[in-house]
Amino acid sequence: MANSSERSRTSAPVVGGVHTGKDEISSGRPDRYDPQAIEQKWSERWAQNPELYRAEPSTSPRKKYYVLEMLPYPSGALHMGHVRNYSIGDALARYMWMQGYNVLHPMGWDSFGLPAENAAIANQTPPREWTLGNIDKMKRQMNRMGFSYDWSKEVLRARAGLSQEKQGELVPEVCHRAGERAGAGQRLLLAS
């Protein structure tokens, strides 16, 4: 005989002491939250509007705010540590939008360095192919999670034609320029 918890999952629900005759689990109730369908719907809708999270031009009269989380190494897929970090930055960017700020919230890839190169070697794949494949995969994961990045400002440190020394200068220079654009007294946040 099934225990009481198994019976409650397989038998029809009781409403006001009367069996309804409907099995709640298998009836496909339309009022139940279906995360796959709902999240897919909104993910597709957000993808249709690339301007959705784009910062306004620098001439905008709104106060400027810059949110930049750490740039991930594209050496594999995202993990919960990434999700934690990027969720915090995403919440901050959304909060500042709701406060009326013109928010610049870019994303990029720290694809020059040993983590990405070692992962490519371990997987017997050319580093450029491995890195660009992982960037594509991680970007899809971030979009699926609904992070509010301005992808028009994407930074890829492994662009062709940039030496390693020049790339080492790139991020501090971008941050310096963003700080200048934010204006005197505005907070520049580099989350890590």
Question: Tens digit of pLDDT for each residue in 56-87?
Answer: 998 999 999 999 998 888 888 899 999 999 99
Amino acid, single-letter form, for residue 158: A
Which pLDDT score is estimated for 147?
A: 94
- CA–CA dist 113, 157 (Å, integer): 10
Hey, where are the domains in the chain? Answer: 62-192
Amino acid, single-letter form, for residue 174: V
Amino acid, single-letter form, for residue 97: W
Which pLDDT score is estimated for 92?
A: 97
Which pLDDT score is estimated for 185?
A: 42
What DSSP character marks residue 80? Answer: H
What is the chain's pLDDT, residue by residue, as a tens digit (192 residues)?
A: 444 444 444 455 554 555 455 544 555 566 788 888 888 888 888 889 989 999 999 899 999 999 999 888 888 889 999 999 999 999 999 999 999 999 999 999 887 677 777 888 898 998 888 888 999 999 999 998 999 999 999 988 665 554 455 545 555 555 555 555 544 444 444 443
CATH top-level class of 62-192:
alpha beta
Of 31, 12, 8, which is closest to residue 21 (Cα–Cα)?
A: 12
Exposure of 187 in the CB half-sphere (CA atoms within 13 A)? 9
Residue 190 pairs in a beta bridge with: 68
pLDDT digits (tens, 9 = 90+) for 169-186: 555 555 555 555 544 444
